[in-house]
A and B are shown apart, each in its own frame.
Chain A
């Protein structure tokens, strides 16, 4: 079944945005970050991009969704860069952060202790589930790539990851979840 081939089930703008978030949230944030150099700002740009998607004609934009999203995201990121150069001084940034109105962690690197904790919970999963979790989140493979690595079907991979994440959520303590 195509996305829009049933007129009674035509995709609404809300559904289009939800689908766009699912498919493009992460790559768009990475893209915006190459322009604005900051993860929090990149998230803001992407949030704004998705909000603007509501204004579009679903029937038309659906086909060229990726192109539309990347274009608007890029335009918004460049716009933010321009505005910040004009409006934000170093002094403002620091004083704002001292006052707690912004929380701007610069870079998140590995927190060894936390990582070890998470690994210990992954180790409690059945071996096949732990393997796909490692391939998906440590190696960054897609379902298709995991399928090629393991010889399992993408359907099986999906089931294993789904089950593994549910189990992990049960195992993880509140401060990690």
Chain B
């Protein structure tokens, strides 16, 4: 049956609102009619935009490329190859774990029998009312064996856990999901990898000689903030300094879209203010993003004027070799971008027109100068810079950064208090959840003070 391109079921299908024979009919059309497939993909694109903006949240959709990869796998039989290539021995089948698991399964079987007084099927029927905190971690995370029809092969008491877990998954039971997430977090902490010691970035001395240009990092990793949440938020302890990456903490959060400078697929903002913990230095922030959703990065550089700047350092990015990525293609995200903070030691009493640093974006020579007259007090800086610099301060203390000036846990408390009082934007999203965590970090630091030079 041909489906008209204006059929509203196309939109319903793309949004996951269609079920049964209508869904099957649309699925057939998507496979056989390029126009229908394109229409479905367009709706998903727009849905992703709407979820990510007015929905205020993450976009829980595959990328168009991923959907095409899935379709291709079905067309050329590579699904079989891909599945075959990933048959390794899972950790839960290792001997030690298996022994523990077997014991746990028996215990669980007894537990469930006591709880429900019935067989496994009855238990599974009531998965939503289970107290999952009583179930062993192994049983929560064991692979569930299914028959070809997606049904659990459970007829014996020892299979009861699998039946219950499968039932919980079939119903997407919230209580099961929450317990699983909580347990995984705990397990993660227990089994963290050995983290390499990080070497902080050195100061670059200019000493009035030659201007210095540095490449600006376009991306950051994403691991530090979740680790901080687990250590500080859940274990109420300070994380090891090697787990703290300032740039990842700063870029866990989103910042205002840059508009000051544009070139080669990038946009950038630059801002400078006094360092609230060091009267001798300034903080210079650069925020870069891609113009399109994900751009192959152009170049972005920052040139320090040697007449104004005695020395400068990037805050964070420990362990990286300077300019290492210069010749490699780099990607920068439009949705997130990268917010980078430098600390500068500058001369006092500069003429307001004197250039402190110049931001260059792209190959066309697009640049933006920041001058002495543009240096703001920290209190007059943008909400973004005040927030990012406070997160940076926390990161410096937690990572054991040197040259802290007057920064200590008391100063961090004070900055957090100022943010809380002054910035209504903090009431939105992740930032509001960051404050209690950073305050707790300051408390823990206060109990176990870090020392700088």
Contact = CB atoms under 8 A, between A and B. Distances in A.
A and B interact: yes
Interface of A: 1-4, 9, 11-19, 21-27, 29-31, 33-35, 37-39, 42-43, 46-48, 50-52, 54-57, 60-61, 63-71, 74-75, 78-79, 81-82, 85-86, 88-91, 93-95, 97-100, 102-115, 117-119, 122, 133-134, 136-138, 140, 142-143, 155, 158-159, 161-163, 165, 168-169, 172, 175-177
Nearest to B293: A175
A100 B82 contact: no
A115 B52 CA distance: 8
A112 B429 CA distance: 11
Nearest to A2: B21
A55 B82 CA distance: 11
Given A25-B62, A108-B336, A37 B328 contact: no
Nearest to B67: A21
A35 B137 CA distance: 13
Q: Main secondary structure on chain A at its contact with chain B?
A: helix
Interface in B321-378: 324-325, 328-333, 335-336
A61 B221 CA distance: 39
Q: Which one of A43, A74, A81, A158 has the greatest number of beta carbons of chain B within 10 Å?
A: A74
A109 to B, nearest CB: 4
A43 B66 contact: yes
B25 to A, nearest CB: 8
B169 A71 contact: yes
Contacts of A78: 90, 141, 143
Contacts of A104: 219, 221-222
B16 A25 contact: yes
Contacts of B311: none
B34 interface: no
B113 interface: no
Interface stretch (B248-256, B278-286, B300-308, B390-398): B248-256
Contacts of A37: 226
Interface residues of B, number: 124
B150 A90 contact: no
A175 to B, nearest CB: 7
B15 interface: yes
B190 to A, nearest CB: 10
A125 B222 CA distance: 38
B169 A19 contact: no
A168 to B, nearest CB: 6
Contacts of B251: 106
A10 to B, nearest CB: 10
Q: Which 8 A-B pairs have the closest CB atoms?
A: A64-B150, A100-B330, A68-B150, A105-B336, A162-B8, A70-B169, A60-B148, A18-B27
Interface stretch (B176-184, B206-214, B445-453): B176-184
Interface in B270-312: 291-292, 294, 297
B245 A52 contact: no
Contacts of B252: 106-107
Given A137-B51, A169-B42, 15 more contacts: A18-B31, A31-B177, A54-B73, A56-B148, A71-B146, A97-B219, A100-B325, A103-B333, A105-B335, A107-B225, A108-B335, A111-B257, A118-B49, A143-B12, A177-B46
Contact of B193 (A89, A102, A107, A117): A89
Nearest to B79: A54
Interface stretch (B53-61, B404-412, B413-421, B435-443): B53-61
5 contacts: A15-B31, A22-B26, A106-B336, A107-B253, A119-B54
A93 B221 contact: yes
B148 A103 contact: no
Contact of A29 (B27, B62, B86, B180): B62
A20 B53 CA distance: 26
A71 B150 contact: yes
Q: Which one of A14, A35, A169 has the greatest number of beta carbons of chain B within 10 Å?
A: A14
Interface string B57-79: 11111110011011101110001
B19 interface: yes
Nearest to B20: A3
Contacts of A117: 53
Contacts of B294: 103
Contacts of B12: 143, 158, 161-162
A76 B54 CA distance: 31
A119 B167 CA distance: 40
Contacts of A111: 53, 254, 256-257, 335
B202 interface: no
Nearest to B215: A98
B24 interface: yes
A141 to B, nearest CB: 11
Q: Which one of A17, A79, A109 has the greatest number of beta carbons of chain B within 10 Å?
A: A109
